[in-house]
């Protein structure tokens, strides 16, 4: 019996891993799959709810690391995950995306010592993405993880181009699509159970959905104030549109730290909620008139749902979402954001198409390859 470990830790990891777990269960006579949760995200609303709604088992092993400085967090994950590796002796480790847990686990796999082996085969799911912005912690995580991985599972063509440019061998690159979209396609059927529109008193296509958590936006007083100014501008274009803003714990803490509670409360039609579970959030994404975000995954989900998405960042590591999909990279350029909102309001915004292989069958393609490699 072979053994594969998946390491996850932060919210977006969970929906990327869920379809792989379900697919591997089909081969349970050949391979055991164990889920290792680092504890990077630990609040019930950032973690447990996703395991429940994605119908995942409780993590087999929980490292309980929690929030720390990036260095401390990675160091603790490494120390704890090394113990797991020594005990579990996996044939392969899977890591997902670009969060600190991803890179910390990759570093352990690159240098370990059991059964005469010095490395553990490592597969990176969502490999090759690059924003070319090394101020983003995720960009460093992507570069390091890709350099330590044996197998690169790629979501969009830019990933292949980036890895080839960096000298990786095409032999170990597999463009299989996007497992986050597998989850979206599967769970979309279940969102009708969600009561979120009613509980927020909003109606289909009459609200904009907002998410913000990038340090460059929310840890910076000037930028956060600028964003609130943009929200006020939206009200002037259409005073009837609601702005739904599920708040990330990082953003909540920064608003409190900067003393901006009063100024956020003054924004007309702004509805603030706690972080939401997967199904409620998917219901909101698919029902929104448009989305303002600095998240990576939401650029992809809105592309598949064909909902206009304005990204409040200067760049994206997911260029297919604006080349093919419904995304526009706006930074914090108020004029650009508001002119795109006017286009959306008047029905003149681009419609977008679905990227290649974002069809809900990515985990099936990935697992078939993994089984040949273990
Ligand atoms: C992390 C990822 C980011 C991802 C995001 C999704 C890195 C470098 N960043 O960012 O790529 O897009 O998750 O949400 O890995 N906190 C809580 N409860 C929690 C988790 C965090 O209150 O369950 C608070 C803590 O104060 C913490 C802060 O949020 O310091 C930030 O958490 P952290 O995991 O460091 O980064 P995120 O901003 O969540």
Where do you find CATH 3.40.50.2000 in the chain?
A: 2-178+358-373, 189-346
| CATH superfamily, domain at 189-346 | Glycogen Phosphorylase B; (3.40.50.2000)
Which string of b and e fits 335-357 if b means at least 16 CB within 10 Å?
eebbebbeebeeeebeebeebeb
Q: How confident is the model at residue 112 (pLDDT cuts 50, 70, 90)?
A: confident
Region 33-54 average pLDDT: 97
CA of 64 to the centre of ligand 1 (A): 14
Give the mean pLDDT of the chain. 97
CA of 346 to the centre of ligand 1 (A): 36
Q: Please state the pTM of the whole predicted model.
A: 0.96
Give the burial class of 45: count Cβ atoms within 10 A of its Cβ; 0-12 exposed, 13-18 middle, 19 or more buried: middle
CA of 374 to the centre of ligand 1 (A): 32
- Cβ 130 vs Cβ 41: under 8 Å: no
Region 192-210 average pLDDT: 97
- Ligand 1 pocket residue status of 10, Cβ below 6 Å: yes
Tokens read off for 225: 């104030």
Supply the residue whose CA is at minimum distance from atom 30 of ligand 1: 67
Region 259-265 average pLDDT: 95
- Ligand 1 pocket residue status of 99, Cβ below 6 Å: yes
Does residue 197 register a pLDDT over 90?
yes
Distances (CA, A) of 360 to 13, 178, 363: 17, 8, 8
Region 37-51 average pLDDT: 96
- Ligand 1 pocket residue status of 68, Cβ below 6 Å: no
Please tell me the predicted confidence (pLDDT) of residue 113: 78
CA of 27 to the centre of ligand 1 (A): 33
Supply the residue whose CA is at minimum distance from atom 7 of ligand 1: 99
Please tell me the predicted confidence (pLDDT) of residue 115: 67
Active site residues: 213
Please tell me the predicted confidence (pLDDT) of residue 118: 79
pLDDT digits (tens, 9 = 90+) for 177-191: 999 999 999 999 999
CA of 100 to the centre of ligand 1 (A): 9
Torsion-angle region of residue 90: left (phi > 0), alpha (psi -120 to 50) or beta? beta
pLDDT digits (tens, 9 = 90+) for 297-323: 999 999 999 999 999 999 999 999 999
Does residue 110 register a pLDDT over 70?
yes
Supply the residue whose CA is at minimum distance from atom 26 of ligand 1: 250
Tokens read off for 230: 């943009």
DSSP tag of 157: H
The CATH topology of domain 2-178+358-373 is: Rossmann fold (3.40.50)
- Cβ 254 vs Cβ 224: under 8 Å: yes
Q: In what helix (H) or strand (E) does residue 231 lie, and over which residues does it extend?
A: helix 221-237
Region 346-374 average pLDDT: 97
- Ligand 1 pocket residue status of 12, Cβ below 6 Å: yes
Testing ligand 1's pocket by substitution, the residue of 47, 63, 67, 145 carrying the most ligand atoms inside 8 A of its CB is: 67
- Ligand 1 pocket residue status of 44, Cβ below 6 Å: no
Does residue 211 register a pLDDT over 80?
yes
Region 204-209 average pLDDT: 97
Does residue 61 register a pLDDT over 80?
yes
Please tell me the predicted confidence (pLDDT) of residue 117: 73
pLDDT digits (tens, 9 = 90+) for 219-251: 999 999 999 999 999 999 999 999 999 999 999
Region 285-299 average pLDDT: 98
């Amino acid at each position: 019996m072979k053994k594969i470990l998946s390491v996850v830790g932060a919210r977006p990891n969970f929906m990327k891993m869920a379809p792989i777990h379900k697919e591997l269960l089909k081969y349970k006579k050949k391979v055991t799959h164990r889920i290792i949760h680092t504890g990077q995200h630990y609040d019930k609303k950032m973690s447990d709810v996703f395991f429940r709604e994605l119908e995942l088992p409780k993590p087999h092993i929980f490292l309980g690391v929690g929030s720390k400085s990036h260095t401390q967090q990675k160091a603790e994950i490494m120390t704890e995950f090394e113990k797991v590796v020594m005990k579990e002796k996996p044939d392969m480790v899977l890591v997902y995306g670009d969060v600190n847990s991803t890179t910390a686990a990759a570093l352990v796999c690159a240098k370990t010592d059991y059964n005469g082996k010095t490395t553990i085969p490592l597969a990176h799911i969502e490999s090759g993405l690059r924003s070319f912005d090394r101020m983003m912690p995720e960009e460093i995580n992507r570069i390091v993880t890709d350099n330590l991985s044996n197998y690169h599972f790629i979501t969009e063509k830019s990933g292949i181009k980036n890895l080839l440019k960096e000298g990786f061998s095409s032999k170990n690159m597999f463009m299989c699509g996007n497992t986050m979209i597998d989850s979206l396609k599967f769970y979309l059927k279940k969102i009708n159970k969600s009561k979120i529109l009613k509980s927020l008193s909003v109606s289909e296509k009459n609200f904009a959905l907002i998410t913000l958590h990038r340090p460059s936006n929310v840890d910076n007083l000037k930028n956060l104030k600028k964003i609130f100014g943009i929200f006020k501008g939206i009200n002037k274009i259409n005073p009837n549109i609601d702005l739904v803003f599920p708040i990330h714990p990082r953003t909540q803490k920064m608003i409190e730290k900067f003393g901006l509670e009063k100024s956020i409360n003054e924004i007309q039609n702004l509805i603030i909620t706690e972080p939401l579970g997967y199904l409620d959030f998917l219901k909101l994404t698919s029902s929104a008139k448009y989305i303002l975000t600095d998240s990576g995954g939401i650029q992809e989900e809105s592309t598949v749902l064909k909902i206009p998405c304005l990204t409040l960042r200067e760049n994206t590591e997911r260029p297919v979402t604006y080349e093919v999909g419904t995304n526009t990279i706006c930074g914090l350029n108020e004029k650009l954001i508001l002119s795109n909102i006017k286009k959306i309001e008047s029905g003149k915004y681009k419609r977008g198409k679905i990227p290649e292989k974002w069809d809900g069958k990515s985990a099936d393609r990935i697992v078939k390859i993994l089984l040949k490699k273990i």
